[in-house]
């Protein structure tokens, strides 16, 4: 049977995407305007601590969780920290006693 070209292209794209998703040495760039694939030459990207990945588009992320880099914390530790920070953020902002100052470099 003959398959329409658009269906064939869609199928090929899905096969390629699944291949990339299942490859531990590959990671999609999470930048929505990029979506390139980063390939690790020195081992799997999906590790406990993830790897710092810098795409050609200059977007930087953790290969383990696809979020902002968080070394030396593991992806799990960062997730726990984010949850605790979300719970404490109201308290922190209500009781914020920090202030800003302008400083100059010492002339000596």
pLDDT at position 102: 83
The pTM of the full predicted model, rounded to 2 decimals, is 0.61
The DSSP result for 46-89, as a single string, is --SS--EEE-TTS-EEETTTSSS--TTS-HHHHHHHHHHHHHHH
d(CA 40, CA 53): 9
pLDDT band at 59 (very low <50, low <70, confident <90, very high): very high
The predicted model gives 49-76 an average pLDDT of 86
Is the per-residue pLDDT at 73 higher than 70?
yes
Is the per-residue pLDDT at 94 higher than 60?
no
């Amino acid at each position: 049977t003959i398959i329409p070209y658009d269906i064939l292209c869609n199928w090929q794209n899905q096969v390629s995407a699944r291949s990339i998703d299942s490859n531990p040495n590959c990671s999609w760039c999470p930048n929505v305007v990029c979506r390139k694939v980063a390939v690790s030459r020195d081992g799997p990207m999906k590790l406990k601590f993830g790897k710092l990945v810098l795409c050609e588009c200059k977007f930087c992320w953790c290969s383990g969780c696809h979020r902002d880099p968080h070394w030396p914390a593991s992806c799990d530790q960062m997730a726990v920290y984010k949850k605790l920070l979300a719970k404490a953020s109201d308290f922190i902002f209500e009781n914020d006693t920090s202030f800003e100052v302008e400083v100059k470099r010492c002339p000596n």
